[in-house]
Amino acid sequence: MGGDKTKIILSITPPLLIIILLFYGGIFYGLVQSLGYQPAIGKYEINLDAYYNILFSERYAKLFWTGLALNLWVSFVSTFLAAVLALFAALAIRKTFFGKTVCNFIYSLNLPMPHLVVAVGIIFVFSQSGLLARMLAQLNIIASPGDFPVLVKDKYGVGIILAYIWKESAFFFIILMSVLQSLGENFEELAQSLGANRWQRFRYVILPLVMPSLFSASIIVFAFSFGAYEVPALLGVIYPQMLPVMAFEFFLNPDLNARSEGMALSIIIALIVMILVIFYFWLTQTRIRKD
């Protein structure tokens, strides 16, 4: 028995060490730098100046709060719309019909695509010089491609939202399809036999059954989109900037004194995501106790 425990401990030690050193080590290093400790430039004093500068200073506060608002807007809207589209697609495709396999393949095709490739695809399709604008101009629906609405590099983050919907709806779709296939149609048939119409079956039968998985996936997608850099960097504007882009620009600043503000901003992003995850676990545990 003791030998089995030793084998288990030895087998999980290497991955645990990697997680502790790379993940928690990186967070600790960032936290220390955000508190002003940078021996490379002779700064040894621990303080909260970087956090104050980010949150309240005249130079950075407006950039931070507008960036935070944009972050929340983009993450919430893209997560919600991707979840809704994937839910209705999964409900439409789950039943057996001719071409179901092809539909599944097409809808899941963008799942392995990198976000950077999706962002480039958004530029090619939805920019004012993109495929859609040129097609509408050729059809004389608009006078010229320049008359096409600004959907890429706009201050409301529409292009970023489109990229996340395009990419993350496939993630939601895979999860919802697996849940719906495992549930079968017995619950719906029972509700239908009791007189429930299509909306009532969806509202009171399907939605409660898929909601735990849908909510879990939404937390993951929201947290990712809130902290992602590449899509906002490619499709965003100079102002307002999403927080990850702002943090990276602080980090690339030739003035190493700005490194503390960049790390402070990264820690704030991590804290917001961590609070969201803690809230999710608290909500889950509360629901389990009630059940």
Query: What is the percentage of the chain residues whose pLDDT exceeds 70?
Result: 93
Give residue 111's pLDDT: 79
In this structure, is residue 143 part of a structural domain? yes
Higher-confidence position of 183 and 85 = 85
Residue range 119-168, pLDDT digits in tens: 999 999 998 888 999 999 888 888 888 888 888 888 889 999 999 999 99
In this structure, is residue 18 part of a structural domain? no
Domain harbouring 261, CATH code: 1.10.3720.10
In this structure, is residue 17 part of a structural domain? no
Q: How far apart are the C-alpha atoms of 225 and 242, rounded to whole Å?
A: 10
In this structure, is residue 215 part of a structural domain? yes
Give residue 54's pLDDT: 92
In this structure, is residue 7 part of a structural domain? no
In this structure, is residue 137 part of a structural domain? yes
Amino acid at 143: A
In this structure, is residue 201 part of a structural domain? yes
In this structure, is residue 199 part of a structural domain? yes
**Domain residue limits at 261:** 35-290
* C-alpha radius of gyration, the chain, whole number: 24
Q: What is the pTM of this model?
A: 0.85
The mean of the pLDDT values for the chain is: 84
Q: Is the pLDDT of residue 58 over 60?
A: yes
Q: Is the pLDDT of residue 250 over 70?
A: yes
Give residue 68's pLDDT: 93
Work out how many domains the chain is built from and give that number.
1
Q: Is the pLDDT of residue 1 over 60?
A: no
Residue range 187-204, pLDDT digits in tens: 677 777 777 777 887 888
Higher-confidence position of 3 and 202 = 202
